[in-house]
Amino acid sequence: MLTDKHYQVNLTSANRTLFPDTSLSLIERAGPEELNILARKLYSDFHGVEESEKQFDFLIQKVLLRTSIGDFVVDNNLSSENVIVVECIDREPAPDPCFSLPHKDWVSGVRCASDCIISSCYDGTVHAWNLAARPIGHFKAHEAIINGLCIIPGSMEDENVMRIATASADQSVVMTEFDRSKSKFIRTHVGHGHEEAALCVSSNTLGSRLATGGSDNYLKIWNANSPKDVAKDWTEEPSNKPTKVGASNVAAITPIVTLAGHRSRITGTCWMNEDHVITSSWDHTICVWDTILLDRVSSLACTCSLTAVSYSPLNQLLISGSVDDYVRLWDPRSNEGKMVRSVYVGHSKWVSAVDWSKTNEHLFVSASYDGLMKLWDFRSTKVALYDLSGHSDRLLCCDFSSPTFMLSGGVDGTVNVYRTTKEC
Distance CA 327, CA 342 (A): 8
Q: Evaluate whether residue 401 is within a structural domain.
A: yes
* Of residues 231, 227, 292, the one with CA closest to residue 253: 227
Distance CA 343, CA 350 (A): 14
pLDDT digits (tens, 9 = 90+) for 201-256: 999 999 999 999 999 999 999 999 988 764 444 444 333 445 455 445 799 999 99
Residues 144, 205, single domain; the answer is yes
Distance CA 388, CA 375 (A): 7
Question: Cα-Cα-Cα-Cα dihedral of 69, 71, 75, 77, to 10°?
Answer: 60
pLDDT digits (tens, 9 = 90+) for 9-61: 999 998 778 899 999 999 999 999 999 999 999 999 998 888 778 899 999 99
CATH code (residue 365): 2.130.10.10
Residues 11, 134, single domain; the answer is no
Domain that holds residue 53: 6-90
Contact partners, residue 210, CB within 8 Å, separation at least 6 = 150, 152, 165, 173, 175, 201, 202, 203, 221, 222, 224
Indicate the residue among 90, 109, 141 that finishes a domain. 90
Residues 354, 385, single domain; the answer is yes
Instruction: List Cα–Cα distances, 388 to 110, 283, 395, 411, in angstroms.
Output: 16, 30, 11, 16
How are beta strands 172-179 and 146-152 bridged, if at all?
Answer: unpaired
CATH code (residue 38): 3.10.20.90
pLDDT digits (tens, 9 = 90+) for 131-157: 999 999 999 999 999 999 999 998 677
Residues 57, 201, single domain; the answer is no
Residues 66, 202, single domain; the answer is no
Q: Evaluate whether residue 46 is within a structural domain.
A: yes
The predicted model scores a pTM of: 0.92
Indicate the residue among 65, 90, 115 that finishes a domain. 90
Share of residues in the chain with pLDDT > 90 (%) = 84
Distance CA 175, CA 152 (A): 9
Distance CA 58, CA 32 (A): 7
The number of folded domains in the chain is: 2
Residues 59, 152, single domain; the answer is no
CB atoms near residue 310 (< 10 Å): 25
Q: Evaluate whether residue 234 is within a structural domain.
A: no
Q: Evaluate whether residue 334 is within a structural domain.
A: yes
Q: Evaluate whether residue 332 is within a structural domain.
A: yes
Indicate the residue among 24, 59, 90 that finishes a domain. 90
Residues 150, 62, single domain; the answer is no
Q: Evaluate whether residue 1 is within a structural domain.
A: no
Residues 53, 152, single domain; the answer is no
